[in-house]
Structure 1
């Protein structure tokens, strides 16, 4: 049984969602040796032989399964054929793991539902060593739950400024995007590579950044989710594109995949989807500046894109972007994106509360999304997995959509490291 993990000695500052703004409360300090705080033990990843085998590894004398090495991209179709429906569904869910406190809830979700991706949630100033131990512990749970493909996506929010989950010894204090935009693209790329290496050093392989939303200088102060807290790379299409692309290039150079967000843009809204039930954008269309900024990131090689939870009247007035087939088509067909499309947090965000947890996951996947993020409230991930399995068992077309989404996630994983 996975023990309780207490990485920090004081209360954590929790962020509201997987990509949201700053949380509330005081930042924790790093634990001391005399505090009685426990940290998880490290679990080394299994070595990869020359010829990957996507079938489960041999059973040991203790009855546990030794995980097989992750597959090469050419083996993805073969791997999918061997996976159960439940294993496929686990590939398209990402569950939140607190950077302090107990690990039992997300660990149980990972074990029970084969969840293959985690998001480091909250705020910590503990530094690299405790975070490396935490990542080792949770990925060991994931490898045991998914022996056919033991590699997990380990994500966090490391934008800079007020949105930086990991701080303390070994982590830089990353400036806000507004400040980053003052650097030349070359300088920012070099800095982002260093920040990305700090993530890679603790086992994080996916950063839910950069923000590619275009904010108007005149309305920035009233743009609650982005402009008001300086998450934007300046105020022009050029500065946002150059800054977000440079940040992404630096991260990828360190081996960390990136997730431009929040498509098709949150820079012109007044409300915050984390805290407001329905945020509506009445001006962003298919050729908006923000859409063009995302195009720049897609063309530069972004592996993931995060969908907004707002409504966009000029594109699809009936559905929030993360439930909108029209919005996914815009990203796929008009921008040519063939990577992983993921949701913003659909566990605790106010924007998705009108729908039960399971229905949120089904609606997103049905719309064409590949990865469902349940970051702030890990208890919702189980009902989401169950709803996806139930729908796929009764709907062959939806089962095919599960296969398509799982294949994209597996291919993205196979390209890492």
Structure 2
């Protein structure tokens, strides 16, 4: 592999790639052992890779600064984006090869992309281990049901199953995702809602009672984590009692004091969810974010970090396909505003305009418009979520 050089001729890529590749190989060996343990989970008709029988020692986490220091500005900002990929494996591989993004989002034609270990080719194109995410809540929001069967909605699970059974259901789905190559699930929902099933949240919520939401969401997250799939709870600061759909229009929540007594209750003691990320929704909280959606509001990230003590991965809801944000900002500007405000990873499902977005972020990093400390903090959270430091 030819090393990248910066404008002063310094080698940038080789040190970090050599170091990270070694860790990645060890992690891959450990993943093969996990696959061997999970061989009792079978998916009829879908060929699975043979597990290794050689057990490797766990990878040693490096200092985040050691990994970050030799990276170019382009490499750094690229790790902060998660891009939707098409079902075609060649197109997905090209997107990763050309842009070296930190993560991809699988949502289109999973039958083509997930079977026969095809994701392995996409992952191999990444110089740093790639986060592969999916939207697998259950009910009307699930992606792999054509391959693995359907799971109930959150509301149905809470009504008919114990938390222990919900955890087992999440373990079952997590095993499948892990063996297909997916390592992040944008679930469970922690929204509190009593609204009808077919509203924007509705039956995606476990309950109208925040304590019940917390109990069941924590069980679902624990089941995913047990299989090596990183859960992401959503949608901070709370979408369950709003009117309107942020896919279609601006959505305004109740005042912050009211959110604190209901919608924000599941975010108390975030360590109860284990190692998990938090997704912010495109939600306007008038006495917190002013007229801005939470995804681009420094006040919303400050609330999450300071009042709720969260030091994990904070990511955005879809910045490209939801009109609550896309009607306000062009995609490159929305991504920059979100990361500058406090997001660690910016998501857009369309997959287009990747180079344009990275150009804008790189320009902002070089000029100081994206402050160096904010970039460093975001990158640290991303690398920690990948288990690299």
Instruction: Establish whether TM, by shorter chain, passes 0.5.
Output: yes
Distance 2:204 2:197 in 1: 13
Distance 2:15 2:170 in 1: 34
Gaps of 5+ in 2: 1-13, 25-58
Question: 1:302-332 CA deviation, whole Å, 9 max, x = no partner?
Answer: 4210000121113222210001111111111
> Given the alignment, which residue of 173, 194, 212 partners 2:172?
194
Runs of 4+ in structure 1 deviating by more than 6 angstroms, as ranges, are none
Distance 1:391 1:397 in 2: 5
> Given the alignment, which residue of 181, 192, 205 partners 2:158?
181
SS of the equivalent of 1:168 reads helix
Report how far residue 362 of structure 1 moved.
Answer: 0.9
Q: Would you say 1:158 and 2:130 are equivalent positions?
A: no
Contact kept in structure 1, 2:316 and 2:343, CA below 8 Å = yes
Report how far residue 256 of structure 1 moved.
Answer: 0.8
Question: 1:181-218 CA deviation, whole Å, 9 max, x = no partner?
Answer: 12111121122111111111111111000000011x3x
Change (3 A) 1:92 1:397: closer
Contact kept in structure 2, 1:263 and 1:306, CA below 8 Å = yes
> Given the alignment, which residue of 117, 120, 138 partners 1:133?
117
Contact kept in structure 2, 1:121 and 1:156, CA below 8 Å = yes
Distance 1:360 1:397 in 2: 13
Task: Name the TM-score, length of structure 1 as normaliser.
Answer: 0.76
> Given the alignment, which residue of 72, 76, 85 partners 1:97?
85
Report how far residue 123 of structure 1 moved.
Answer: 5.1
> Given the alignment, which residue of 352, 357, 365 partners 1:384?
357
> Given the alignment, which residue of 84, 107, 110 partners 1:121?
107
Contact kept in structure 2, 1:226 and 1:266, CA below 8 Å = yes
Report how far residue 356 of structure 1 moved.
Answer: 1.4
Contact kept in structure 2, 1:172 and 1:195, CA below 8 Å = no
Change (3 A) 1:290 1:406: same
The residue aligned with 1:224 is 199
Report how far residue 257 of structure 1 moved.
Answer: 0.8
Report how far residue 102 of structure 1 moved.
Answer: 6.5
Contact kept in structure 2, 1:281 and 1:311, CA below 8 Å = yes
SS of the equivalent of 2:63 reads helix
Task: Name the TM-score, length of structure 2 as normaliser.
Answer: 0.81
Contact kept in structure 2, 1:161 and 1:231, CA below 8 Å = yes
SS of the equivalent of 1:154 reads strand
Change (3 A) 1:132 1:90: farther
Contact kept in structure 2, 1:213 and 1:262, CA below 8 Å = yes
Which has the larger displacement, 130-139 or 158-167? 130-139
Distance 2:265 2:219 in 1: 16
Change (3 A) 1:396 1:320: closer
> Given the alignment, which residue of 232, 239, 252 partners 2:212?
239
Report how far residue 287 of structure 1 moved.
Answer: 1.4
Higher helix proportion: 2
Distance 1:114 1:406 in 2: 14
Gaps of 5+ in 1: 1-52, 59-65
SS of the equivalent of 2:84 reads strand
SS of the equivalent of 2:85 reads strand
Q: Would you say 1:112 and 2:98 are equivalent positions?
A: yes
Distance 2:292 2:276 in 1: 25
> Given the alignment, which residue of 55, 59, 64 partners 2:16?
55
Count residues in correspondence: 339
Map 1:206-285 onto structure 2 (within 5 A): 206-215=184-193, 217=194, 220-221=195-196, 224-227=199-202, 230-276=203-249, 278-285=250-257
